Chains A and B, each alone.
Chain A
Amino acid sequence: MRRFVQLYAALDRTGSTTAKRDAIAAYLHDAPPDDATWAVYVLGGGKLRRLASATELRQATREATGYPDWLVEESYAHVGDLAEAIALLLPSGASGDDAALHVWMEDRLPGLARLDPATRVAQLRSWWQALPTDEVYLLNKLITGALRVGVSRRLVVQALAQWSQLPTDLIAHRLSGDWTPGAASLAALAQPAEDDAHRAHRPYPFFLASPLEAPVESLGERDKWLAEWKWDGIRAQLMRRDDQAQLWSRGEERLDGRFPEIEQAACTLPAGCVLDGEILAWDGAASAPRPFTALQKRIGKLKPGAKLLAETPVRFMAYDLLEQDGADLRERPLRERRERLATLLEGMPPTLLLSPAADTDGWAALTQLREQSRERHTEGLMLKRLDSPYRVGRRRGDWWKWKVDPYTLDAVLIYAQSGHGRRAGLFTDYTFGVWDRGHLVPVAKAYSGLDDAEIARLDAWVRAHTLERFGPVRSVEPEHVFELAYEAIQRSSRHKSGVAVRFPRILRWRTDLSIRDADRLEDLKRMAEG
C-alpha cells in the first residue's frame, strides 16, 4: 500500500490538475495492474461498503489511546475528519506491514466486514499498530469510504487516457456503470477495440449543463436553441437493451426495482434504445409534477410497497435519445435526436413522457415564460443548442441551465459547529432561526456562501460569544442576521418548527439588520401552504 500512499500524498500536495493527472498516469505505469486497478476504483469514487461502523472505529480509538470518549469527539470536531483524527490520536506505529493495495481491497477489508464487532475492533487495533501515521490515515479513509483528494472522476479518466493512449470519451464510457476492479478489467480499459458484450450493461457518460451567467441574448439567435423546463427530479438514463430495461442514476448507480412502473413501461419500447431524462413524482391526472420532496419518499426505498406506489407514482420525462436500434446517436445533432425521440414515444404509456419544448418567438417571450417556472414546479429552463452532439461530462457551450432566482428569508444565527475538509477547525456549519412567539426556532442549516474573510470573522465571533456547548455544537448569542436563499418550503412533521426549508444557503451577511428584523415562522408556514 506504500506506493499508493505516496500517490495520495503527491495528489494531496498539488492543486494543479496537470500535476495530478501526471502523478496518476505515472502510478499506472509503475504499479502492478492488480493494485493499479484498485487505485482507479477508489480515486474514481468507488468504495467498499459497510466495513466497520464509526462507533467501532471510535471504540478501537478509545482502547488504543486510553482517551475518554469526549476527547475523541472534541478531536474529531476539531479535525473535521474521523479517519484523520484517529490517525493523529494514535501513537505512531512501526512500518512493519506493506501488504499490497489489492490484498487490502480484495482480502483484508472485505474480511473485516465479516468479523463479529469485538473481533473487528481488535483487528483494527492490530492493523493500526503496524502502520505509520500516513498509512493509518489512508487505511481509515478506505474503511470510512471517503477518499477525497481533489481528484474528479474526469481527471481519473484523463489519466487513464494518457496512460493507455486512448480517447477520453472512450475511457469514460468503458468506466461507466458497474465497472468492477481487477487486473483484467484494467487491461480491458486499455484495449483498442470495443468488446460489445460488455457495452450492453453500461450507460453512456452523462452530458451535464452549466449555469447560464451571461444574459440569455448572448446565446445568439433564439431558433438555434431548444428551450425546455428544468425538471426537479432525479436525472437518469433509461436503457432498453436485449430483453430488459434498466435505470441508471447520474451517479452511475443501477436503480433496479426502485421505480418498477418506469421499468414496466420501458418494456414497451423497442429493444436497443437508451433515453436520457428525469424521474419525477407525478400524480395520474395532474398537469405538473409534484415537488422534489414528494419524490424523496421514493428515493430511499429499494423495493417500494403497493401503498407507496399508489400514493407517490413516478414518471420518466425523456429529453434525449442516445441510442436507437443499437446504434450510438450521440454524434448526431440534437435536432435529429429529438425528432427520433418524439416519434419513438408516440403511443407510449403516460409513464413515459416527452419533455415538451418551451416554444416562444424570441428571447423576450422566453424570459417571460420563465416566470412560470415555479407554478409549473420546475427550477427554470434548460437551453440546448439544436445542432450540438451529446457530449461527455460538464462541457460549457451547448447546454445551459437557466434557473429562476431562489426565494430568500432573513434568519438569525443560533448554533455553530466546526466544518470538515478545508474548513476543519473553523465554525462554518451554521443553524439559523426565525421568530415564533418571542423565541428563535431553528429552521435551516447552511454550510456555504461566505467568503474566507467572513468565515474567519464569524469564527472568531462564535468563539467569543458561545453560550453553551453541546459536544461539537455551540449555541451563540443571537446577534447576526443572514439572508438565506432556498428552493422551497414544505410543511413537515419531522421538523420541530413544522416546516422544511429545501436547499438553504447563505446569500449575504445582513450586518444592516438587527435580529428583530428576522422573519417570522408564521410567515414561512403561510409560504408552505401557498
Chain B
Amino acid sequence: MPDLLLDPRPEGLYCPAGGFYIDPAEPVAQAVVTHAHGDHARQGNARYHVARAGLGLMRERLGEPAAIEAYDYGEAFTLGEVQVSLHPSGHMLGAAQIRMEHAGNVAVVSGDYKREPDPTCAAFEPVPCDTFVTESTFGLPVYRWPPMTQVIDELLAWWDDCARRKVSAVLFCYALGKAQRLLAELAPRIDRVIYLHGALLRLTELYREAGVALPATQPLEEHARGAALAGELVLAPPSAAGSPWMRRFPNASTGFASGWMQIRGNRRRRGYDRGFVVSDHADWDGLVHSVRDSGARRVYVTHGDGHALVRYLREHGHDALPLAALGA
C-alpha cells in the first residue's frame, strides 16, 4: 500500500494526502519549509508554510513578494486532507519539525535538529508519532558533542592567546545559525566587541530583531586591516577562507566551528589552525534518543550516510529504513 503521508520524489519529499512538499528542491504549488538554510528554503514556490519564529529570516531568503503563511509552534492548520502543525527542532531560529496527521496516522519529519540547548531558538520538542523521519548528518557514535561551556572555554582561551601574540583570531562558521549561536553563547562571557564579515551582518540583525540577545558586534570596515585587527575576534563564513578578503590579516590564527572538527583528520585536512566542535545537528546520542522519544513504529533515515544508524536502530528493535527505500 502506498504511503499517504510520505512519498520521496525528485522535487522533494511529497505528502500525497496533503498535496504539499517539504523543503522542495524545485518549484511547487505548496511548500512546507523546515528552516531558512539555503538548501531547504528555496525561491520560486507558489505558497510557503513556515514557523512564525523564523518569518523574518524566511522573508530575507525568499524575498518580499513570496506568499508565506506563518504559524505558531503547535498551531494546527489543514492542507488537503492532512492536519499539519510545526514544532521546534532546535536547529536554528524558526526551525521546525513537521507533524502530519491523516486518518489517525501521524508522521513527523524532523528536518535538521539538535538536542543541545541553544540560546537563539526554542528547544527540540519530542513529538509522538507512528512514523518518524530523522536526519543522520552525524550518524556514527564517534560524534558526541562536548558541552558548549567547554567549547566556549576553548574558544576564549584561543582568543586570549591570539591577543597575547597580537594576531587576529578569525573564526569561520556558517553565516546563518551557527554564527549567531556562537555570538549568543559568548555574550555573557565577554565585554568586548566582535567583528563580523559582511555576509553575517544582515542575518545577525534579523536575529536581534527577533529578540535574541547578542553581544556588541561591529562590521569589519572596508579599510580595516593589519595591526588595527590584532588581537580581535572576527567571525566569517567558511567561503572567506583562502579568499582575497583574508589578505587584510597579515597575521591571523584561523579556527573553524563545525561538528566535523570532531575528527583530527578533518581538522588537519582543512588546514585551519584550530577546530571547535559545534554543531546544530544531532549527535549520535541525540539521533538515537530522538528515535526512541518519538515512539514511532517506523523510522526513515535521510541526509548523510545513514547506513550505520539504520543498522543500529534495526538491531535495537526499530523498524528503520533509509528514506530512499520508501520511493523505490
A residues bordering B, Cβ < 8 Å?
12-15, 65, 67-68, 70-71, 74-75, 78-81, 84-85, 88-89, 92, 419-426, 452, 463, 469
Q: Which residues of B contact A78 (CB under 8 A)?
A: 140, 142, 263
Given A74-B140, A75-B140, A420-B265, list of 16 further CB < 8 A pairs? A75-B142, A78-B263, A79-B142, A79-B263, A79-B264, A80-B263, A80-B265, A81-B264, A88-B263, A89-B141, A421-B268, A422-B265, A424-B264, A425-B266, A426-B269, A469-B307
Q: Is the CB of B269 within 8 A of A13?
A: no
The listed residue with most B CB atoms (<10 A of its CB), out of A419, A420, A422, is A422
Q: Which residues of A contact B269 (CB under 8 A)?
A: 422-424, 426, 452
Contact of B305 among A68, A84, A424, A463 (CB under 8 A): A463
16 contacts across the A-B interface (CB closer than 8 A): A15-B271, A15-B273, A70-B311, A71-B141, A74-B308, A78-B140, A78-B142, A85-B142, A88-B141, A88-B142, A88-B263, A420-B265, A422-B265, A423-B269, A424-B269, A425-B263
Complex Cα spacing A385 to B293, Å: 74
Q: Is the CB of B142 within 8 A of A423?
A: no
Complex Cα spacing A294 to B258, Å: 50
Complex Cα spacing A74 to B141, Å: 10
> Is the CB of B137 closer than 8 A to any CB of chain A?
no
Within 8 A of A (CB), among B232-282: 262-266, 268-269, 271, 273-274
For residue B241, give the distance in angstroms from its CB to the closest CB of chain A: 14
Q: Which residues of A contact B307 (CB under 8 A)?
A: 74, 469
Complex Cα spacing A79 to B261, Å: 11
The listed residue with most A CB atoms (<10 A of its CB), out of B146, B263, B271, B315, is B263
> Is the CB of B144 closer than 8 A to any CB of chain A?
yes
Given contacts A13-B273, A85-B142, A423-B269, contact A68 B315 (CB under 8 A): yes
The listed residue with most A CB atoms (<10 A of its CB), out of B142, B273, B312, is B142
Contact of B312 among A71, A81, A84, A422 (CB under 8 A): A71
Q: Which residues of A contact B315 (CB under 8 A)?
A: 68
For residue B289, give the distance in angstroms from its CB to the closest CB of chain A: 15
Q: Is the CB of B308 within 8 A of A71?
A: yes
Q: Which residues of A contact B312 (CB under 8 A)?
A: 68, 71
Interface string of B123-152 (1 = CB under 8 A from A): 000000000000000001111101000000
Interface string of B296-312 (1 = CB under 8 A from A): 00000000010110011
Complex Cα spacing A218 to B327, Å: 65
For residue B67, give the distance in angstroms from its CB to the closest CB of chain A: 35
Complex Cα spacing A426 to B140, Å: 15
Given contacts A71-B308, A71-B312, contact A421 B142 (CB under 8 A): no
Question: Nearest 4 CB-CB pairs, A to B?
Answer: A424-B265, A88-B142, A422-B268, A422-B269
B residues bordering A, Cβ < 8 Å?
140-144, 146, 262-266, 268-269, 271, 273-274, 305, 307-308, 311-312, 315
Complex Cα spacing A85 to B312, Å: 18
Q: Is the CB of B265 within 8 A of A425?
A: yes
For residue B308, give the distance in angstroms from its CB to the closest CB of chain A: 5
Q: Which residues of A contact B264 (CB under 8 A)?
A: 12, 79, 81, 84, 424
Complex Cα spacing A75 to B312, Å: 13
For residue B322, give the distance in angstroms from its CB to the closest CB of chain A: 13
Q: Which residues of A contact B273 (CB under 8 A)?
A: 13-15
Contact of B141 among A15, A65, A419, A420 (CB under 8 A): A65
Complex Cα spacing A350 to B308, Å: 61
Q: Which residues of A contact B263 (CB under 8 A)?
A: 78-80, 84, 88, 424-425
For residue B26, give the distance in angstroms from its CB to the closest CB of chain A: 20
For residue A26, give the distance in angstroms from its CB to the closest CB of chain B: 14
Complex Cα spacing A15 to B274, Å: 11
Q: Which residues of B contact A70 (CB under 8 A)?
A: 311
For residue A265, give the distance in angstroms from its CB to the closest CB of chain B: 47
Q: Which residues of A contact B271 (CB under 8 A)?
A: 15
For residue A22, give the distance in angstroms from its CB to the closest CB of chain B: 12
Q: Is the CB of B274 within 8 A of A13?
A: yes
Complex Cα spacing A85 to B266, Å: 13
For residue B160, give the distance in angstroms from its CB to the closest CB of chain A: 14
Complex Cα spacing A378 to B8, Å: 61
For residue B253, give the distance in angstroms from its CB to the closest CB of chain A: 9
Q: Which residues of B contact A426 (CB under 8 A)?
A: 269
Complex Cα spacing A78 to B142, Å: 9
Contact of A423 among B140, B265, B308, B311 (CB under 8 A): B265
Closest chain A residue to B312 by CB distance?
Answer: A71
Complex Cα spacing A482 to B274, Å: 35
Closest chain A residue to B255 by CB distance?
Answer: A13
Complex Cα spacing A477 to B314, Å: 28
Q: Which residues of B contact A71 (CB under 8 A)?
A: 140-141, 308, 311-312
Q: Which residues of A contact B308 (CB under 8 A)?
A: 71, 74
Q: Which residues of B contact A74 (CB under 8 A)?
A: 140, 307-308
For residue A297, give the distance in angstroms from its CB to the closest CB of chain B: 35
For residue A60, give the distance in angstroms from its CB to the closest CB of chain B: 16
Closest chain B residue to A150 by CB distance?
Answer: B268
Complex Cα spacing A15 to B272, Å: 9
Complex Cα spacing A13 to B264, Å: 10
Q: Is the CB of A75 within 8 A of B265?
A: no
For residue A133, give the distance in angstroms from its CB to the closest CB of chain B: 8
Complex Cα spacing A89 to B262, Å: 12
Closest chain B residue to A12 by CB distance?
Answer: B264
Q: Is the CB of B140 within 8 A of A421?
A: no
Closest chain A residue to B270 by CB distance?
Answer: A422
